[in-house]
Amino acid sequence: MSSEPQKFTVGWLYPDLMNIYGDRGNILTLLKRAEWRGLNAQLKEIQRGRTDDLTDVDVFFFGGGQDREQALIYDDLIEHKRDHLEQATRNGAQILAVCGGYQLLGHYYQTADGERYNGIGLIDVKTEAGKKRFIGDVVVQTNIEGLEPSTLVGFENHSGRTFLGGTATPLGRVLHGRGNNGSDHTEGVIQNGVIGTYLHGSLLPKNPHLADHLISQALKRRGGASLSHLDDSAELAAHGWILQRAQRR
Ligand code: GLN
Please give the pLDDT value at position 58. 97
Please give the pLDDT value at position 75. 98
> Does residue 67 contact residue 19 with C-beta atoms inside 8 Å?
no
> Does residue 106 contact residue 127 with C-beta atoms inside 8 Å?
yes
CA distance 115 to 94: 30
Q: Which of 69, 102, 103, 162 to mutate to test the pocket of ligand 1 (most atoms within 8 A of CB)?
A: 103
What is the position in ligand 1's atom list of the atom closest to the CA of 70?
1
C-alpha of residue 40 to centroid of ligand 1, in Å: 33
C-alpha of residue 102 to centroid of ligand 1, in Å: 9
CA distance 66 to 100: 7
Q: Which of 102, 135, 157 to mutate to test the pocket of ligand 1 (most atoms within 8 A of CB)?
A: 157
Burial of 139 (0-12, 13-18, 19+ CB in 10 A): buried
Smallest CA-to-CA distance from 77 within 44, 102, 105 is with 105
Q: Report CA dihedral (133, 69, 108, 211) to the nearest 10 degrees.
A: -80
What is the position in ligand 1's atom list of the atom closest to the CA of 65?
8
Cβ contacts of 20 within 8 Å, gap of 6 or more: 63, 64, 65, 66, 99, 100, 200
> Does residue 214 contact residue 194 with C-beta atoms inside 8 Å?
no
pLDDT digit string, tens, across residues 49-102: 999 899 999 999 999 999 999 999 999 999 999 999 999 999 999 999 999 999
C-alpha of residue 241 to centroid of ligand 1, in Å: 25
Active site residues: 99, 200
Cα distances (angstroms) measured from residue 119 to each of 32, 78, 243:
31, 7, 33
φ and ψ of 30, to 5 deg: -60, -45
φ and ψ of 44, to 5 deg: -120, 115
Please give the pLDDT value at position 137. 96
Cα 216 → chain centroid: 15
C-alpha of residue 7 to centroid of ligand 1, in Å: 33
pLDDT along the chain (249 residues), means of 10: 83 97 95 97 97 95 98 98 97 97 98 97 98 96 95 98 98 97 98 97 97 96 89 98 90
What is the position in ligand 1's atom list of the atom closest to the CA of 21?
9
Please give the pLDDT value at position 154. 97
Q: Which run of H or of E encompasses 241? A: helix 233-248
Single-letter residue type at 88:
A
What is the position in ligand 1's atom list of the atom closest to the CA of 160?
10
CA distance 207 to 225: 20
Pocket, ligand 1, Cβ cutoff 6 A: 20, 64-67, 70, 99-100, 129, 157-160
Q: Which run of H or of E encompasses 211? A: helix 208-219
